[in-house]
Each structure stands twice: as structure tokens, then as C-alpha cells.
Chain A
Amino acid sequence: MPDRIAPSAADEGFRKELLSVLPHLRAFARGLSGRPDFADDLVQEAAIKAWTARERYQAGTNMRAWTFAILRNHYLSELRRSRRQTDLDEGVVEKMLVMEADQEGPLHLDDMEAALQKLAPERREAVLLVGASGFSYEEAAEIAGCPIGTMKSRVARARADLARMLDGDQPQQVEVKARKTG
């Protein structure tokens, strides 16, 4: 066990690190839930949990991974507790995706977000951690509490799903067959 540093200095260091990861936590929570207000609540609650548990954090380890895991677990427990689901309007999603396929235009962030929210939750989490947040498979697996092979499989499936939904944008490296609706 590492020696405790002077509490105030340790707390200040922790606080700075926690502050630095908040924007990333917000992006992760937004991607997970698809709901900005809910996401910000999650981040604040996760930040409080992290602060309360700060004595368990070892300085110099990965604050981002540590707090992402806290946020992720809190998100899942909130879902279980309140049975809240991402109540994205499916009609709007379909409309946006159809528009994308018809237009062959640039990929818009709304389309991306809609497609993301259509993924199975564990795949969405996986592609957010690895594809967006930049975690390694190993780190992502640790955050999600699953084996590395499972994480790789989830990411691969998420990629295939996204490619299928968003392949209107130059599918040059997409492994699934290019498919245009209409």
C-alpha cells in the first residue's frame, strides 16, 4: 500500500485529475445514454462517488479508466433502479437514416448519434470506449468488467452495425457488403 501523502495535497491533486477527466466523462455518458441532461446528472453523481472513494485511487494510475468504470457502473445501476431506457424516438431515427441513405451526403453528427443509440447497449459501450474514448481493448475490458475477447467481439459487432447503418459515406474499408436502401 502506498503511503498516504498529506491529505490536503493528495486531495488537491485528485481534484485536479478529476476535473481534467470531466469532459471525457460527459462525452462517454452522453454517448451511453443519448440524453444530455441525464448524462450530466450521471457525471456529477459519478464525480461525487469518485471523490468519496478517492482514498482507493492510487495516484499515477489511470484516472480516466477508473472514473469511466465508476460512471459506467452507476449508469447501469440507475437503469436497473429506475428502468429508464433511452427513449429515442424511433421514427426520427429511421427518418434520419433514410435521409442519409438517399442523399449520399456527408455523415452528420445527428445521424451518427442516432445510429449509436440504435446499437445494443454493450456494443454501444464498447465502441464508445475503444473507438471514441481511445481506450485499449484491455482497458475497455477492465472498465466493462468483461474478458478482452468479449470486448473485441463487441467492438467488432458494433463496427459492423455502424457500417451497415452509415455506409452511405464512402464504404471503402467497410467489411460488410455495401448496401444502399431504396
Chain B
Amino acid sequence: MLNQPNGRGDSGPVPGLPPEVRRDGEPGWAGGLRKLYNSVVEEPLPDSFKDLLKKLDDDGDA
């Protein structure tokens, strides 16, 4: 099944399909999809995002 919580916590450096992202009974690409997604989630936010929210916070209602 696909509807499972996010598989966070894997930090395999190789952009392949390490065992930690593969779950029993699912095709390899399913882990690849989560890994692709998580690779973006784990990126540090660009500064512009923090600036944006800080601005929103300061402005109250922007």
C-alpha cells in the first residue's frame, strides 16, 4: 500500500534505492518516489522563506 506516513530518517548518501527506503511488498520505485520527495523536504529552506515569514509576522496582515 502507498498510503503510509512519510518515511523520514533515511540518510543514504547514494541516490539509489538503499534498503531503508524499501518496504516489504512494494516495488522499488515506490521507495524511490519517497526518497525523491524526502530529498527536497530535507533541503534547508532558502533564506527568502524565513524572510517572508518574518515579514508576515511583523506586518501582521500583509
The answer on a CB contact under 8 Å between B41 and A109 is no
Q: Does A150 contact B (CB under 8 A)?
A: no
Q: Does A101 contact B (CB under 8 A)?
A: no
The answer on a CB contact under 8 Å between A112 and B29 is yes
The answer on a CB contact under 8 Å between A107 and B6 is no
Q: Across the two chains, which residue of chain B brings its CB closest to A51?
A: B56
Report A124-138 residues with CB < 8 Å from chain B CB. 127-128, 130-137
Q: Does A47 contact B (CB under 8 A)?
A: yes
Q: Across the two chains, which residue of chain A brings its CB closest to B61?
A: A52
Q: Does A70 contact B (CB under 8 A)?
A: no
User: In the complex, what residues of B have CB within 8 A of residue A31's CB?
Assistant: 36-37, 40
Q: Does A24 contact B (CB under 8 A)?
A: yes
**What CA separation (Å) do A11 and B45 show in the bound complex?**
21
* Of the residues B2, B43, B46, contact of A159 by C-beta under 8 Å: B2
The answer on a CB contact under 8 Å between A24 and B41 is yes
Q: Does A182 contact B (CB under 8 A)?
A: no
User: In the complex, what residues of B have CB within 8 A of residue A113's CB?
Assistant: 36
The answer on a CB contact under 8 Å between B29 and A169 is yes
The answer on a CB contact under 8 Å between B17 and A107 is yes
User: In the complex, what residues of B have CB within 8 A of residue A40's CB?
Assistant: 46, 48-49
Which stretch in A15-23, A72-80, A83-91 binds the other chain? Answer: A15-23
Q: Does A146 contact B (CB under 8 A)?
A: no
Tell whether A173 pairs with B48 under 8 Å between CB atoms, given A107-B16, A127-B33, A135-B3.
Answer: no
Q: Does A118 contact B (CB under 8 A)?
A: no
User: In the complex, what residues of A have CB within 8 A of residue B4's CB?
Assistant: 134
**What CA separation (Å) do A163 and B30 show in the bound complex?**
9
Q: Across the two chains, which residue of chain A brings its CB closest to B52?
A: A44
The answer on a CB contact under 8 Å between B40 and A27 is yes
15 other A-B residue contacts (CB within 8 Å) besides A26-B45, A40-B48: A11-B57, A15-B56, A26-B40, A43-B49, A48-B56, A106-B14, A107-B28, A127-B2, A127-B33, A130-B2, A132-B37, A134-B6, A169-B17, A170-B27, A171-B27
